[in-house]
Structure 1
């Protein structure tokens, strides 16, 4: 009797699995490189984005880092409680809170940058310079072309 079960696809041959594994590796390296700073990759992304776009609101921030608004709000709450971010009421709309780094947030971001840069280097270390360029171009193409399929699509500034 023949089996009617579909033929299995090798897990390691599936791009989604490889992307998930690379994300795990990326986060692991980030934590190794920044372990004494008590910062996560998402916290780093928020601090960097607020520094680059001071006065942005949480909804704009969430779109810039492609994170859902409720998760973004929780991370912002924790960063504010640590004294790294501050919120102020928007003069145009009192329901909107505008974000800015505090001096402590600026300091933490400056301390995190070298570890973040080492993380990026370690992730790409197995590739030669040409492969790195190709990998990043293809990766960004996949992210851009599939952006609308995300539960939290990224929104780049116009």
Structure 2
């Protein structure tokens, strides 16, 4: 019988548990109140002002229904605002507020510390290799996910 330690599913789940715990510890110690998903959403909105919720969900590989709650919490914290799209009033565009940009600037050292902590025990070459292998495995299995990651630029090109 193969032990769980040799199974990629078990190892991926354990690494996710560690990654979330480390992220929370570093971010809270630095005085911030963001979850990993909120951080991913906020950084994506900041990088792509005017993104809509459906595109945001695809960009961070998050369920379209559940992303509403994430955006609601970011809006309640005053970090993002929803704006009506000029061409289609049903579409709500997302923009970071000044406070949201301030939080992103301030939280970055804690996020970087969390990333280093997640990879402790690995040297630089091993860290690079792990990231490359994870990227390769995630890309190969993307369509198997309940919330596949979508490239918004490719999606936009396919709509035309």
TM exceeds 0.5?
yes
Q: Deviations over 1:6-40 (max 9, x none)?
A: xx431222110110110110111111111121111
Alignment partner, residue 45 of structure 1: 40
Match of 2:94 in 1: 99
1:11 to 1, 4, 18: 4
Where structure 2 has 5 or more consecutive residues not aligned to the other structure, the ranges are 155-160
Query: Which among 138, 146, 152 is matched to residue 151 of structure 1?
Result: 146
| Aligned pairs, number | 151
Alignment partner, residue 3 of structure 1 = none
Please give the secondary structure, in 2, of the residue aligned with 1:95: coil
Q: TM-score, normalised by structure 1?
A: 0.92
Match of 1:67 in 2: 62
* Equivalent position of 2:157 in the other structure: none
- 1:77 aligns with 72
Q: Where has structure 1 moved over 6 Å in runs of 4 or more?
A: none
Alpha-carbon distance in 2 for matches of 1:62, 1:129: 31
Partner in structure 1 of residue 106 of structure 2: 111
SS of the residue 1:70 aligns to: coil
Please name the residue that 1:5 is paired with. none
Q: Could you list the runs of 5+ residues in structure 1 that have no partner in the other structure?
A: 1-7
Report the counterpart of residue 54 of structure 1 in structure 2: 49
CA distance in structure 1 between the aligned counterparts of 2:85 and 2:23, rounded to whole angstroms: 34
Residue 146 of structure 1 and its aligned partner are, at CA, apart by 0.3
Q: Kindly name which structure, 1 or 2, has the bigger radius of gyration based on alpha carbons.
A: 1
Instruction: Give the SS at the match of 1:126.
Output: coil
Secondary structure of 1:86's aligned partner: strand
